[in-house]
Amino acid sequence: MSSGEFDSGTGELGARQQEVTRPLLRLFLNYGRPEASWLGVGLLASVGAHTATLVTPLILGTTIDAVFTGQSPYRLPLVPTAWLPVEQSAQFWLSVTLIGASLGVTASLTWVRGVAMNVFAYKVLHEIRIDAYERLQRLDMSFFDDIQTGEIMSVLNNDTSNLERFLDNALSQTVRILAIVVGISVVLFHTNAQLAVVTLVVVPFLVGFTWWFMRVVEPRYATLRSKIGKLNTQIENGISGIELVKTANTATRENRQMEGVSHGLFEARVDVSKLAFLYRPGMKLLTGAALLTTFIIGGIWVFSGPPPGFSGELSVGEFVVFILLVQQLTAPLAQLSNIVDWYENARASGKRICGLFDVPVRIHESTDPVSLKAADGRVEYEDVSFAYEADERILDSISFTAEPGETIALVGPTGAGKSTVAKLLLRLYDADEGSVRIDGHDVQNVRLGDLRESVGYVSQGTVLFDGTVAENIRYGQFDASDEAVREAARAAEAHTFIEALSSGYDTRVGEQGVKLSGGQRQRIALARVILQDADIILLDEATASVDTKTEALIQRSLDRVTTDRTTVVIAHRLSTIKDADTILALDNGRIVERGSHEELLAEDGLYANLWRVQAGETDSLPNEFLEQASKSSLSNT
Ligand SMILES: Nc1ncnc2c1ncn2[C@@H]1O[C@H](COP(=O)(O)OP(=O)(O)OP(=O)(O)O)[C@@H](O)[C@H]1O
């Protein structure tokens, strides 16, 4: 059991989650209403099942009085006396049959309740999960920049599970408690109103005790949750950074930290347990007191007539009904704290889920998007400025044009903004000022699907999924034939090494492609883009992780692939871009030089200095360049 203190996420998601009001009502209206018939059936079956359980004690009471003690005639509620048998043995067997039937009805309705409530919960969760996932896919990259993967996983997994517990259990348990308390009260009052008051006086105490328990235990649960969070972080960091832990020889320190964190969790759990184990015995004690009081007063009543303050008759059968029903009160009421707990958890989870739905989608599809099938490939940036964080301008008035088929190279020191320029073309982010155009259309007006199909992108950090080599190359072009996949791999100089892998194209690459070298991963990513056959190609350090020999090979195939396509290449190794039609040297978010390799060498500025570095002519570098380089590497650490 854990309580649902609201732990919101970080960044924009956290802010949105804090603002959510009435999350469960909102989720119910959006997702529960269409499935309300399952809920209705489940709740009705729950009421029916618990009403049926009341039949047994009632019939037992009547049978004892009519058949065994002969204290009163054989009567059944809602059944005309004329229909009932007069012979005692027939009455006995009728009672047996009715008790058997009520047990059967209870079992069947419990099954119906279980299935209906489960289907209701699973359907609602299914809808929420796919909507949340779809929403995630539409959010822009700045959302993902601010969030940890674990947080999103937790919303999609833990929070939906919390909701499931609430939808599945809490609703039907609440109805069950109501049905039982109301049903038992009706039967007891019907049997003997005076004794019923004595017996039921315990109910408000049970509710009050539960309320007290929840209040006292809540802060301890808050501590427990934070200890669990710390443990998860410790495990996550330790495992994801396992290579660093090993190479930095910090395993002992990590183990000690784990021990500390785990011990903290142990203490918090014991703290909670001490109190949690008070609850059930406390509830049992209270209902036990009610049972004992009923037993004393009822017993005296049966033996020697009404005790002082009471009047009328109490038969043995009626007494038995009381004793049986008081015991039935305990179990459902002991669920009260679970219900409050499920509710609190579900509310907190509902807030986290609704918060995710409330994060605005900033990269919108235009309302009247332009189609970009078979683009010519003219790429223009006009006065483009951009900041990831407000007030921190990363790109400043970037303007350039790449005519169809041309190759434009972006070079410059680390952190100059080269990758950012590339990301704006794909609308991973939108420019704050100015416009990025393809074939004269602002990318913000182009159909997003067309845009991303028209631009083939090999990013700096190669992204591979845990699948086979062939699946990774085919990703995005799922209909491509095996031969086309091989052809693309050949063009990316990947075919030979793929064939040498244990299962060739069917070799699994591992999570993030861990089973391949950096250069192999890059070549698979290149093959993927070659297979995409896009009109515009964006290569961000696409050959950075390969050796010079492979680079020369890839360069040869890239030259083939990019001849008649517009290409934007970002590269630190200037030898790979010296033949570009135009080279743009970026520094601090501004284009400081532009021209061909020869022109820029002649200009003897930033590019010429970068070139000297790579030619190993560091002695001839001006001092300002070295100072500048040291500053920019510092600002990017
Ligand atoms: N997602 C982000 N959120 C905030 N700032 C970012 C983000 N991505 C990059 N930056 C910052 O923007 C600046 C430009 O980054 P960018 O990746 O475009 O540089 P780059 O020229 O491609 O560098 P490199 O050659 O090292 O890849 C850097 O100062 C970087 O810290």
pLDDT tens digits, residue range 261-320? Answer: 999 999 999 998 888 788 878 888 888 888 899 999 999 999 888 999 899 889 999 999
Identify the sign of the CA torsion 219, 224, 227, 232: negative
The arithmetic mean of pLDDT across residues 517-545, rounded, is 85
Residues in the chain, how many?
A: 637
Atom of ligand 1 nearest to the CA of 420: 18
Query: Which amino acid is present at 550?
Result: T
Q: Is the confidence at residue 636, as pLDDT, over 60? A: no
Measured in Å, residue 525 CA sits from the centre of ligand 1 at 21
Extended beta strands in 251-312, E state: none
**Ligand 1 atom at minimal distance to the Cα of residue 570:** 22
Report the residue among 147, 362, 418 best suited for mutation to probe ligand 1: largest number of ligand atoms under 8 A from its CB. 418
Q: Is the dihedral of CA 349, 354, 356, 357 positive or negative?
A: positive
128: left (phi over 0), alpha (psi -120 to 50) or beta: alpha
What lies within 8 Å, CB to CB, of 378 at 6+ separation is: 401, 402, 403, 404, 437, 438, 439, 440, 566
Ligand 1 centre to CA of 415 (Å) is: 5
How do the residues of the chain divide into helix, strand and coil, expressed in percent and rounded to 5? 65, 10, 25
Own/partner contacts of 13-18, CB < 8 Å, gap of 24 or more, are 13/143, 13/146, 13/147, 13/151, 13/355, 13/356, 13/359, 14/355, 16/355, 16/356, 16/358, 16/359, 17/351, 17/352, 17/354, 17/355, 17/356, 18/351, 18/355
- pLDDT on residue 37: 94
Which residue minimizes the CA distance to atom 7 of ligand 1? 388
Cα–Cα distances (Å) from 323 to 75, 192, 327, 458, 623, in that order, read 20, 13, 7, 76, 97
Residues 390-446 have pLDDT tens digits of 888 999 999 999 999 999 999 998 889 999 999 999 999 999 999 999 999 999 999
For the cut 80, the answer to whether the pLDDT of residue 110 exceeds it is yes
Task: State if residue 633 touches ligand 1 by the CB under 6 angstroms criterion.
Answer: no
CATH architecture under which domain 11-358 falls:
Up-down Bundle (1.20)
Is the C-beta atom of 393 inside 6 A of ligand 1? no
Position with higher pLDDT, 528 vs 553: 528
Q: Is 402 exposed, middle or buried (0-12, 13-18, 19+ CB in 10 A)?
A: buried
Mutate to test the pocket of ligand 1, among 388, 396, 586, 634 (most ligand atoms within 8 A of CB): 388
Q: Residue 266: what pLDDT? A: 95
Ligand 1 center to 611 CA (angstroms): 22
Pocket test for ligand 1, best of 148, 421, 636 (most atoms within 8 A of CB): 636
For the CA of 572, the nearest atom of ligand 1: 25
Confidence (pLDDT) at 630 = 61
More confident residue, 120 or 549: 120
Ligand 1 near 636 CB (within 6 A): yes
Q: Structural domain boundaries of the chain? A: 11-358, 379-460+536-635
Q: Enter the DSSP assignment of 158.
A: I
Q: Predicted confidence band at 337 (pLDDT cuts at 50, 70, 90)?
A: confident
H or E stretch at 105: helix 88-138
Give domain 379-460+536-635's CATH architecture. Answer: 3-Layer(aba) Sandwich (3.40)
Whole-angstrom Cα distance, residue 277 to residue 162? 23
Rounded mean pLDDT of the chain? 86
Q: Give the whole-number percent of the chain exceeding pLDDT 70.
A: 94
Ligand 1 pocket, residue 144 CB under 6 Å: no
Paired with 594 in beta bridges are 584
Task: Give the whole-angstrom CA distance, residue 467 versus residue 510.
Answer: 7
Question: Where is pLDDT greater, at 55 or 550?
Answer: 55
- Per-residue confidence (pLDDT) for residue 620, from 0 to 100: 66
Query: Does ligand 1 come within 6 angstroms of the Cβ of 459?
Result: no
Q: Give the start-end residues of each E strand in 33-100.
A: none
Task: Report CA(629)–ligand 1 centroid distance (Å).
Answer: 16
For ligand 1, is residue 388 a contact (CB within 6 Å)? yes
Residues in CB range of 204: below 8 A, 6 or more apart: none
User: Model pTM?
Assistant: 0.76
Ligand 1 near 113 CB (within 6 A): no
Please give the structure tokens belonging to residue 363.
Answer: 């990269």
**Phi and psi for 322 in degrees, rounded to 5?**
-60, -50
pLDDT at 513 exceeding the cut of 90: no
pLDDT at position 14, please? 80
| Largest interatomic CA distance in the chain | 121
Summarised one tens digit per residue, pLDDT across range 572-613 is: 888 888 889 999 999 999 999 999 999 999 988 889 888 887
Ligand 1 center–CA 589 separation, angstroms: 10
Our CA dihedral for 403, 407, 413, 417, rounded to 10 degrees, sits at 40
- Report the SS3 class of residue 591: strand
Q: Decide: 298 in ligand 1 pocket, CB within 6 A.
A: no
Atom of ligand 1 nearest to the CA of 145: 1
What pLDDT digit, counting tens, does each position of 131-180 carry? 999 998 888 888 888 777 767 777 888 788 888 888 888 888 888 888 88
- Considering 13-22, 442-451, 625-634, the range whose residues carry the highest mean pLDDT is 442-451
Interface ipTM = 0.96
CA of 559 to the centre of ligand 1 (A): 27
Provide the pLDDT for residue 8: 54
Tokens (6 digits) for 122: 């699973």
pLDDT confidence band for 466 (50 / 70 / 90): confident
* Mean pLDDT within 359-384: 87
Secondary structure class of 446 (helix, strand, coil)? strand
Could you write out the three-class secondary structure of 109-148?
Answer: HHHHHHHHHHHHHHHHHHHHHHHHHHHHHHCCHHHHHCCC
Q: Confirm or reject: Cβ of 394 under 6 Å from ligand 1.
A: yes
Residues 606, 585: contact at Cβ < 8 Å? yes
Percent of all residues in the chain with a pLDDT value above 90, rounded to a whole number: 36
265 CA distance to ligand 1 centroid (A)?
39
Which one-letter DSSP state was computed for residue 20?
-
Kindly report the protein residue whose alpha carbon is nearest to atom 3 of ligand 1. 388
Q: Which of 12, 394, 569 to mutate to test the pocket of ligand 1 (most atoms within 8 A of CB)?
A: 394
Query: Own/partner pairs for 593-597, CB < 8 Å, 24+ apart?
Result: 594/400
Q: How far is the CA of 421 from the centre of ligand 1 (A)?
A: 10
Token code pair at residue 514: 């861990």
> How far, in Å, CA of 369 to CA of 496, rounded?
42
Residue 4 has pLDDT above 50, yes or no: no
For 437, how many CA atoms within 13 A lie in the half-sphere containing its CB?
17
Give the residue, out of 142, 393, 419, with the most ligand 1 atoms within 8 A of its beta carbon, to mutate for a pocket test: 419
> Tokens 């078979």 correspond to what residue?
374
